[in-house]
Structures are given as C-alpha cells and as structure tokens.
Amino acid sequence: MRLCTNNQVSVRKEGSADPALAVATDTWEYGWQWRAACRGEDAGLFFPPAHVEPKEARLTRERKAKIICSTCPVRMECLDYALRIREAHGVWGGLNELERRVLLRERLQPDAERLRLVGES
C-alpha cells in the first residue's frame, strides 16, 4: 500500500473493485487522509524536488503548503502520523522536517531530564 500527501492511493487488494474505497473504509488509520485539505493539491508543494532547491524557493514552497495546512480539518491527525512514523521528508501537519525534529526533541527532553534527575537521587 502507498499513500501520498495528495491522496493518490495505489492499493492492491483482492476482490476490491475500488482500491481507494477499500483503504478509506477498511483502514481506520488512513481515513483522515480523505478529509485532508491537501487532497488533490500538487504534492510538489509539500515535498522538496529531486534537485537542489534554493533557500528562497524552499521557503516559498513551504509557505504555500503551510497555508493549505492551516485550513485543514485533520491537521493534528496528519502531524501525529508524521511524528509517529518519524517522517523525514515534506510538510506534514503544517510543519517541515526541521520543525518536526525540534518538536520531537522537545517532547523527549522532559523524559530525558526526569531520568537524569532520578539517577542523581
């Protein structure tokens, strides 16, 4: 199964006339993607090109993607998914790769600090 930000889904499921419908109805985990604001948008806004991208072009592309994310009814589900699977590429839930890494580090920091303090007791 392959799921893309722009929700072009490619699924092989025996006996299913409409593979996309099978994913939407049989797989709860991916159901939120059908309601995403990015559905049908150009995936190139959400993911970097294969070639080197100048900083200004990257910032412009990410800004456009984040505007779409800001109107999304499933933004938090998208971000949670990207954080959970440690998605390394693209804009998910309104955050780029670096912003997600910082968020993950901040979430893990209190646990690391708590463990350090417990070890000193």
Sequence-separated (6 or more) residues with CB below 8 Å from residue 103: 83, 95
pLDDT averaged over every residue in the chain: 79
This prediction's pTM: 0.68
Sorting pLDDT into bands at 50, 70 and 90, what band is 14? Answer: very low
* Cβ neighbours of residue 11 closer than 8 Å, sequence gap 6 or more: 1, 2, 19, 20, 22, 23
Give the pLDDT confidence of 55-110 residue by residue, as tens digits.
999 999 999 999 999 999 999 999 999 999 999 999 999 999 999 999 999 888 76
Tell me how far apart the alpha carbons of residues 22 and 24 are, in angstroms, rounded to a whole number: 6
| Chain centroid to CA 83 | 8
* Segment 19-67, tens digit of pLDDT: 555 544 455 556 889 999 999 999 999 999 999 999 999 999 999 999 9
